[in-house]
Amino acid sequence: MACFILHPWFGWMALLGGGTLLGLTLLTDLTTRRPLDVASQAAREAGEQARATMRGGEVLRAMGMLGALRSRWRRRHDEAIRLQARASDRAGLITAATKFTRMFLQTMVLGVGAYLAIHGEISAGSMIAASIIMGRTLAPIEAVVGHWKSFTAARRSYARLADIVGRIGLEPQRVMLPRPRGLIETENLVVAAPGSPTAILHDVSVRLEPGSVVGIIGPSAAGKSTLVRAITGVWPITSGAVRIDGADLRHWDPQALGRHLGYLPQDVELFDGTVAQNIARFDTQDDAAIVSVAQRAGCHDLIQALPDGYNTRIGSGGHGLSGGQRQRIALARAMYGDPSLVVLDEPNASLDQAGEAALMRAVADLRERGTTVVIVTHKVSLLAGADQILMLEGGTLRASGPADQILTQVSGPRPVPALVATGGRAMPENERLSEIQRSAG
């Protein structure tokens, strides 16, 4: 408007210049958006691969995989750098064109102003004023073009955060339910892995009585771990229901319910901190309770043998401990706080004979306290004292019943040594599982 007041020619030049710079801004967006998006995705994939490589560093080094994975990471990283460089080159070219356009327009304003001043249409002061106003008008637009890359990066980051927050949603205020007794029920349960449309569990309905010891058996990929992840709320359910003491799992506050659950996953994960902090779940530390639960879990002597006992610091993932040590400390963590439900997924995977004996004593201790215990295992001998057995196959419940009945069919009526001594063939465990599946079907 000020340029139009000084002279219409100045006004039209300002409009033309502003429109040109805005057009260059749009051109910057069109030419850099896709390369930056692809580069950002490639950088995230490279970062995720690097973190996964660090977690499995010992395995990779032992099997000579480090070189191949390093080359794979470098290809992704180089692709991200190449795409970012391409986008930066395009943005830099357009930024240079923007600066040239602004300087050219200001020069034109001075030239046109001199022409108008010579012909007496404006004064020399108006010419200088028009140049200053033109510069102040175009400078913000030029700055937008120069910082467009940062603006688009911020926009993409905001979109990713909004997507994450949208998926999580706001947790509704829930009524605090009383401590559960440990009654677990599932009804027509269908579960898929997070982000996958393919169901792993199909129409599973079970009832686990409070204070009972329940074993879950079946071949690999039968859905055993998926079932316990659904029961504990680790994975969302696709359809059906999980109920704890008659209340739908969704009605429980996750933090409040978590204090009444103990979970020992198949892949044990400890966290950066002391042994005591890990056992206490990084909650307010009760030394007496920590020592007591370690003794019940059979890992007190093991912890005392560590350099600083319960104050020994362990790295992320339990770095510095053996697999058996991690598993036994994680068992104590699962038992901490006298939970109503304890889920043990392949709890003997890294245990020696002494560790298995300690595990059996811990399960017996939990039963005496009225805790519902769910054990996922391929080793049927761990379920000798169980009350109920669930057999899964292909994501469906193939058999369910009293432990004596199911284990008799799995293990046979006579002990294996007697069969071997009389010249009979000891039936492998997978054949026993097939036999019970046929009888249950």
CATH for 122: 1.20.1560.10
- Say whether pLDDT at 418 is over 80: no
To which residue do tokens 């599973």 refer?
204
Sheet with strand 213-217: strands edge to edge: 261-264, 341-345, 372-376, 213-217, 388-393, 396-402
* 348 and 206 within one domain: yes
3-state secondary structure of 305: coil
To which residue do tokens 């811990």 refer?
362
**Radius of gyration for the chain, computed over Cα atoms and rounded to the nearest angstrom:** 34
Provide the number of structural domains found in the chain. 2
Of residues 12, 29, 26, the one with CA closest to residue 105: 12
* 62 and 37 within one domain: yes
At 401, which CATH number?
A: 3.40.50.300
* 147 and 58 within one domain: yes
Over residues 349-380, the pLDDT tens digits come to 888 888 889 999 999 999 999 999 999 998 88
* 366 and 243 within one domain: yes
- Of 168, 193, 209, which marks where a domain is finished? 168
* 201 and 143 within one domain: no
- Of 117, 142, 168, which marks where a domain is finished? 168
* 188 and 104 within one domain: no
Of residues 281, 268, 258, the one with CA closest to residue 333: 281
**Helices marked H in 193-322 — which ranges?**
224-232, 254-258, 275-279, 287-297, 300-304
Q: How confident is the model at residue 304 (pLDDT cuts 50, 70, 90)?
A: very high
- pLDDT, mean over the chain: 80
Q: How confident is the model at residue 208 (pLDDT cuts 50, 70, 90)?
A: very high
To which residue do tokens 């595990």 refer?
359
Q: How confident is the model at residue 421 (pLDDT cuts 50, 70, 90)?
A: very low
* 246 and 373 within one domain: yes
Is 9 contained in some domain? yes
Long-range (24+ apart) CB contacts under 8 A made by 38-44 are 38/83, 39/79, 39/80, 39/81, 39/82, 39/83, 39/84, 39/87, 40/80, 40/153, 40/156, 42/76, 42/77, 42/79, 42/80, 42/83, 43/77, 43/80, 43/84
Percentage, residues of the chain above pLDDT 70: 84
Q: Is 306 exposed, middle or buried (0-12, 13-18, 19+ CB in 10 A)?
A: middle
* 104 and 29 within one domain: yes
Whether the CB-CB separation of 153 and 343 falls below 8 Å is answered with: no
Between 320 and 64, the more confident residue is 320
- Of 103, 138, 168, which marks where a domain is finished? 168
Task: Give the pLDDT confidence score for residue 425 in this predicted structure.
Answer: 42
* 192 and 78 within one domain: no
Question: What does the pLDDT average to over 405-421?
Answer: 54
* 230 and 98 within one domain: no
Task: Give the pLDDT confidence score for residue 390 in this predicted structure.
Answer: 92
Is 266 contained in some domain? no
* 151 and 222 within one domain: no
Measure the CA–CA gap between 42 and 171, rounded to whole angstroms: 32
* 248 and 363 within one domain: yes
Query: What is the domain range of residue 20?
Result: 2-168
